[in-house]
């Protein structure tokens, strides 16, 4: 069994309040859960309206499969014009 986590920090442009941020983060979470076999949670910067930090986790029987799924998650995040990914950290267990 292979488990991998990526921790992604991002700037959210065009966010002027926590309500705007919540709209973006909720949209990202829902879209990612619908399209990919991953779990996602906001783990940092919860009181800052222009930054966020997500943990995205995938589990599988082969490392290549897990890595591919997390790469797809990063690609999905990059499709959002309002987001700039500032840091991505990989952890393998």
Q: What residues contact 92, with CB distance under 8 A and at least 6 apart?
A: 2, 3, 4, 63
Structure confidence at residue 12 as a pLDDT band (50, 70, 90): very high
Alpha helices by DSSP H, listed for the chain, are 18-35, 63-78
Domain definitions of the chain by residue range: 2-92
3-state secondary structure of 38: coil
21-43 per-position pLDDT tens digit = 999 999 999 999 999 999 999 99
pLDDT at 76: 97
Domain topology for 2-92: Alpha-Beta Plaits (3.30.70)
At 43-93, the pLDDT tens digits run 999 999 999 999 999 999 999 999 999 999 999 999 999 999 999 999 999
């Amino acid at each position: 069994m292979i488990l991998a986590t990526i921790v992604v920090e991002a700037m959210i442009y065009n966010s002027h309040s926590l309500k705007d941020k919540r709209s973006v983060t909720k949209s990202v979470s829902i879209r990612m859960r619908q399209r990919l076999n991953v779990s996602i949670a906001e783990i940092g910067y919860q009181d800052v309206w222009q930054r966020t930090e997500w943990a995205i986790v995938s589990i599988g029987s082969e490392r290549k499969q897990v890595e591919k799924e997390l790469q797809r998650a990063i690609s999905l995040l990059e499709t959002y014009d309002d987001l700039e990914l500032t840091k991505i950290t990989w952890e393998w267990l």
